[in-house]
Structure 1
């Protein structure tokens, strides 16, 4: 029995060894094929290159040989600052020659709308409201409600689809308290399609205090009083956005007149004086915050990667409807959705002489990258476009290279 078993088991061992040898040879061969295929896939797939993106931003801003008088950029990755730099002057020689830095305040213009939209999302949730609810009940009782206003929603304002009548100039008049009151009295007289109007967000200078006043523990708020709405709007923003990020004293009032950033045209020589922007308190909501590039980058990071400012659901809703954000051409969004907000103020429609500011924030969730660019100059010849937002998109899209 023992002999038979040995005779029987010996041939089986030999076959098993052969089979195992063939099996492992097959595995080794196919593994090489898979590895080669994977390597081919890697080789043929472009990847984002941070170095190229950064250099693109610099090159594209300076492409026309007429760099801003002063400008700065930040690039963050997953909420952490990766690259940053600043160039030129906050004030040129004629105005006292002060360097522009990453920590120099600048009027961020309409990027302010993004911050206002964050506050709106917070207060709607706190009041058990949605963006689809109407604004009429939250307006001052003394205001005359014009046609269509009773059907005007928070979303309509946040998307610039209100149909209200206003202009994007003479801000002290059109965006002041009386101007807002007059706008509501005129009512919805245009088609409720997208029409970018600063008044849509200036109205939140009244609506944010009104929503806040309805919450338990809120301070005394009189939305019938212009000065009180200004103060309470700024107070809410400070306490519920900037204080949460340890950013003290962020507001719509500039630094001291003798050291504040001034605003130029790229063609201005060293002897051309710049524009001074004073307080925007009386016309805030849609513009006017004075912040540094680093402060703007910090808000981006906390918005995108934490729930300190908004919940994930609120953030997703803001992105879905581009609330307080730019509406971009999907054809430009080659590597997933891009989200951002532009800002611009100028003294003239002629870019060769207009003095002013340009700002832009952009978030690229697909790579965890976000970017801030601020410049105290109009009239800069950008690479292939007049849009700062488009320039950043191009710099990003062209930073995908073969590994």
Structure 2
């Protein structure tokens, strides 16, 4: 299947420029010694670095369109082939979706990234003063002092009621972004939010907030990238799995339903849909205005990585999920897992990647991509 992403029009070469070349037909062209980026080399380098995975799939885009793709190996223990259009839990790539949604409210209401979150949490929650005083920016940059990774509603409410005792310096926590499952619906329509909070039983109100959060991400991000409505639940019959890598016995695990714990992780997309998201965030004003894009990039809102590569800076977010199957602490050989990544690079290049297995530790996807990208510049 040929995949095309066209967020903007392609410029055509004017016929007038050709007329002036007639007198030069017999002259030898002058070759430039300048290096250019080769998507073919990038693909080759990535495939070499990902050797050993049970399966992977990636899409390389340049100038807003698909330049090359790769599908390798299997996506499930049943032997389903790795496929760009098979669904995967994108894990923490979710944070970029959440941030891109939040940013669109920062320049439309009397709210900035420095505003305090207290007024935007449910009034029915017990909220400690140290939580009320946190800024949107602190949540979006993991500098809140919040610790922990459990993102169910009970965990969010416990976090909100507890004092912050850890340093308010960078420390990655899924809870920071999962709190937007409660904050975004109130940002969108505070009157409707309050009406639901007063009229619904607690469990139903939590369900409504979850559904409203997913509706808003669809509205503000996915639909603007031409992606049908998605969510945080598995897509029956079309899901990849988390798997082991050799030499360990092939076993796998499903991702499960994240509908009531998403925000920091959990969105279910295809790798090609991840490619659409990063292309539209980068090359189009459909999702973000230039001002919103600058706000997101300059403050690293929803980008966990920003690092130098040839020609400029790369911005990305990766995701990683695993299930402990060998009963040893942490990720080890015999556990099952998967990794994802979206990243924008200089030379108007982007990458969306899904890896369907883990071995005895996480792949450093940023090092892999940086090395593959830097080696993909060739001379004419």
TM-score bucket (shorter structure): 0.7 to 0.9
Deviation at 1:221, TM superposition (A): 4.5
CA contact 1:262–1:275 (8 Å) conserved in 2 = yes
Within a 5 Å distance, the mapping from 1:269-308 to structure 2 comes to 272-308=250-286
2:347 is matched with which residue? 367
2:243 is matched with which residue? 264
Does residue 387 (structure 1) correspond to residue 367 (structure 2)? The answer is no
Number of aligned residue pairs: give it: 344
Does residue 100 (structure 1) correspond to residue 64 (structure 2)? The answer is no
2:304 is matched with which residue? 326
C-alpha distance in structure 1 between counterparts of 2:48 and 2:332, whole Å = 20
C-alpha distance in structure 2 between counterparts of 1:277 and 1:49, whole Å = 35
Deviation at 1:72, TM superposition (A): 0.3
Within a 5 Å distance, the mapping from 1:60-139 to structure 2 comes to 60-62=49-51, 66=52, 68-92=53-77, 96-139=78-121
TM-score, length-scaled by structure 2: 0.84
**Which consecutive residues of structure 2, in runs of 5 or more, have no partner in the other structure?**
1-29, 325-329
Q: Deviations over 1:19-60 (max 9, x none)?
A: xxxxxxxxxxxxxxxxxxxx79x42x4332222111111111
C-alpha distance in structure 2 between counterparts of 1:268 and 1:278, whole Å = 26
Which structure has greater strand proportion? 2
TM-score, length-scaled by structure 1: 0.80
**Which consecutive residues of structure 1, in runs of 5 or more, have no partner in the other structure?**
1-38, 169-173
Structure of higher CA gyration radius = 1
Within a 5 Å distance, the mapping from 1:3-402 to structure 2 comes to 42-43=32-33, 45-62=34-51, 66=52, 68-92=53-77, 96-164=78-146, 166-168=147-149, 174-214=150-190, 221-222=196-197, 225-256=205-236, 260-267=239-246, 272-328=250-306, 330=307, 332-348=308-324, 349-364=330-345, 366-379=346-359, 386-402=363-379
Q: Deviations over 1:275-334 (max 9, x none)?
A: 111110111000011111110111111111111111111111111111111234x4x434
CA contact 1:61–1:381 (8 Å) conserved in 2 = no
User: Could you list the runs of 4 or more consecutive aligned residues of structure 1 that deviate by over 3 angstroms after TM superposition?
Assistant: 217-224
Query: 2:316 aligns to what SS in structure 1?
Result: strand
C-alpha distance in structure 2 between counterparts of 1:302 and 1:219, whole Å = 33
C-alpha distance in structure 2 between counterparts of 1:89 and 1:199, whole Å = 32
Question: Once superposed, what is the RMSD of the aligned Cα atoms?
Answer: 2.5
